[in-house]
């Protein structure tokens, strides 16, 4: 009976620890959700601030014009949809071009030797 009592006491302790940890976890999850919301809010505020600065410094530009589309970016001097080209794809293209140029230089060096 003594070992059964010890086991029951251990189970009670573990259940108490579990309840305490679950409570802490729920609090941290709530805090994380709040922080995510704050980050998104700050991002939106920063973007709006940028639009206000554009309107202030470039009064001849209408920042609400439909040609200013948030899902477009300027790549190689062209305005393109972000889904048409990602920074990773651009980096891969540049790396491939640099590798090709390096190979061309090596071939030219071998040809002239």
The answer to whether residue 3 scores a pLDDT higher than 60 is yes
For residues 62 and 11, membership in a common domain is answered with yes
The answer to whether residue 11 scores a pLDDT higher than 90 is yes
pLDDT score of 48 = 87
pLDDT score of 80 = 84
The answer to whether residue 49 scores a pLDDT higher than 70 is yes
* Residue that the structure tokens 């001849």 belong to: 60
- Listed in order, strand segments (DSSP E) in 5-91 are 72-75, 78-81
For residues 45 and 75, membership in a common domain is answered with no
For residues 21-47, average pLDDT = 94
For residues 40 and 77, membership in a common domain is answered with no
For the stretch 63-91, pLDDT in tens is 777 777 777 888 888 888 877 766 566 66
Q: What is the DSSP letter of 35?
A: H
What is the rounded CA–CA span in Å between residue 86 and residue 25?
36
For residues 79 and 45, membership in a common domain is answered with no
For residues 47 and 87, membership in a common domain is answered with no
For residues 43 and 75, membership in a common domain is answered with no
What is the maximum span of the chain, computed from C-alpha positions, in angstroms? 94
For residues 53 and 79, membership in a common domain is answered with no
For residues 39 and 91, membership in a common domain is answered with no
- Print the domain residue range for 112: 70-113
């Amino acid at each position: 009976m003594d070992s059964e009592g010890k086991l029951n006491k251990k189970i009670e302790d573990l259940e108490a620890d579990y309840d305490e940890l679950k409570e802490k976890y729920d609090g941290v999850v709530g805090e994380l959700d709040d922080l995510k919301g704050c980050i998104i809010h700050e991002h939106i505020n920063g973007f709006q601030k940028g639009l206000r600065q554009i309107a202030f410094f470039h009064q001849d530009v209408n920042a609400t014009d439909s040609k200013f589309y948030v899902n477009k970016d300027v790549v190689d001097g062209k305005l393109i949809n972000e889904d048409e080209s990602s920074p990773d794809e651009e980096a891969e293209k540049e790396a491939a071009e640099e590798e090709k140029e390096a190979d061309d230089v090596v071939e030219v060096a071998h040809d002239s030797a």
